[in-house]
């Protein structure tokens, strides 16, 4: 796959690598970068950056202190014009998190108090060189960065990254990864001259009919599929991830009896429901009659008994 990617670039064609899992993507990316270095397409010395990988937690997960563990990272999103801040998690307490800022100072973050926009993830080291392609993974309005955007590195300037389009990735923006390979989900809406689909046996459990269709349909001119287990891949791509209704998983010979049982249960439920409604009406009618009788009794004049 790496050599096919390099060949497409040499022919001045756009190429897109698609893999089903992030582990597969990292393995493919390493091989592609080695091939690019040998071909002289990655220039200058590499520099190591510490980047933020979001865990994509829901709001409920963020409020649950049991989800956290020491070593995670929290990225706070400030308002318009404000700077983002990433802190390291030092310890997890009863309803709060002990965090450490970039300058070494420590603080306590109370979960569920006030409205604070933040993301939870992990930090990892990423080596970048001039010529690398990057995948942006967070929006930044002031810098016009869009989540999912592919960019190319022109040069490394200290702690900043100069892009070929003239924009600069500042030191406080660290939500990016290598952009040579993407998942099928991220590939939606993208097209390239050549699409190279990588699906080794270790990532086949993530392959299904819909995912595979999205992957192979991204190419304008050609599509190549790379795998080490053709039979297993063929089996997975014929399997749909669509959730079936109950009647669809019942064998055809039993579907009629199954539907009869469903209808019988529905009939019994409706019959019982009608009985309850009738009883309820009768009860209300009886209560009304008792109240009317009591009211008439109270209206009757009382007779005094004379001695």
pLDDT in tens, 88-120: 999 998 888 999 988 889 999 988 777 678 899
**Residue 277 resides in a domain:** yes
pLDDT at 293: 64
306 has pLDDT over 60: no
pLDDT, average across residues 126-146: 88
Say if strands 181-182 and 15-18 run parallel, antiparallel, or are unpaired: parallel
Burial of residue 17 (CB within 10 Å: 0-12, 13-18, 19+) is buried
pTM of the model: 0.70
CB 23 within 8 A of CB 202: yes
Look up residue 140 and give its two tokens. Answer: 């930044």
Average pLDDT over residues 131-158: 88
Q: What is the mean pLDDT of the chain?
A: 84
CA contacts within 13 A on the Cβ side of 142: 12
Terminal-to-terminal C-alpha distance of the chain: 119
Mean of pLDDT values over 71-82: 74
Helix, strand, coil fractions of the chain, as percent rounded to 5:
35, 30, 35
Instruction: Round to whole Å and give the CA distance between 206 and 90.
Output: 34
Closest to 176 measured CA to CA, from 137, 150, 141 = 137
Does residue 305 have a pLDDT over 70?
no
| Contact present, 165 and 143 (Cβ < 8 Å) | no
Residue 188 lies in a domain: no
Residue 258 inside a domain? The answer is yes
pLDDT at 160 exceeding the cut of 60: yes
251 pLDDT higher than 90: no
Residue 34 lies in a domain: no
> Does 168 fall in a domain?
no
Share of the chain above pLDDT 70, in %: 85
In a domain, 202, yes or no: no
Domain that holds residue 282: 243-286
In terms of Cα–Cα distance, which of 194, 189, 182, 216 is closest to 12? 194
Task: Tell me, yes or no, whether 26 lies in a domain.
Answer: no
**Per-residue pLDDT for 38 more than 60?**
yes
- Sorting pLDDT into bands at 50, 70 and 90, what band is 252? low
Q: Tell me if 274 is assigned to some domain.
A: yes
What total number of domains does the chain contain?
A: 1
């Amino acid at each position: 796959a790496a050599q096919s990617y390099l060949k497409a670039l040499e022919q001045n064609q756009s190429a897109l690598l698609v893999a089903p899992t992030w582990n597969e993507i990292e393995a493919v990316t390493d091989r592609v970068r080695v091939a690019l270095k040998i071909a002289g397409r990655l220039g200058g010395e590499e520099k190591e950056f510490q980047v933020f990988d979001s865990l994509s937690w829901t709001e409920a997960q963020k409020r649950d202190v049991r989800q956290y563990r020491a070593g995670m990272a929290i990225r706070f999103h400030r308002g318009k014009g404000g700077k983002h801040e990433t802190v390291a998690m030092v310890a997890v307490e009863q309803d709060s998190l002990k965090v450490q800022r970039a300058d070494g100072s420590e603080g306590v973050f109370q979960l569920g108090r006030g409205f604070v926009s933040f993301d939870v993830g992990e930090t990892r080291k990423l080596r970048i060189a001039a010529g690398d392609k990057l995948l942006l993974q967070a929006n930044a309005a002031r810098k016009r960065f869009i989540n999912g955007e592919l960019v190319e590195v022109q040069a490394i300037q200290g702690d900043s990254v100069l892009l070929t389009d003239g924009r600069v990735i500042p030191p406080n923006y660290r939500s990016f990864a290598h952009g040579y390979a993407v998942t099928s989900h991220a590939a939606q809406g993208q097209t390239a001259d050549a699409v190279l689909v990588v699906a080794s046996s270790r990532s086949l459990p993530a392959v299904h009919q819909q995912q595979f269709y999205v992957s192979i349909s991204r190419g304008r001119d050609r599509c190549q599929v790379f795998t080490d287990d053709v039979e297993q891949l063929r089996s997975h791509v014929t399997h749909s991830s669509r959730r079936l209704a109950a009647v669809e998983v019942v064998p055809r010979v039993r579907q009629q009896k199954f539907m009869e049982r469903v209808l019988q249960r529905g009939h019994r439920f409706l019959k019982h429901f009608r009985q309850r409604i009738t009883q309820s009406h009768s009860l209300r009618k009886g209560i009304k009659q008792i109240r009317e009788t009591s009211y008439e009794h109270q209206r009757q004049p009382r007779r005094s008994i004379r001695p």
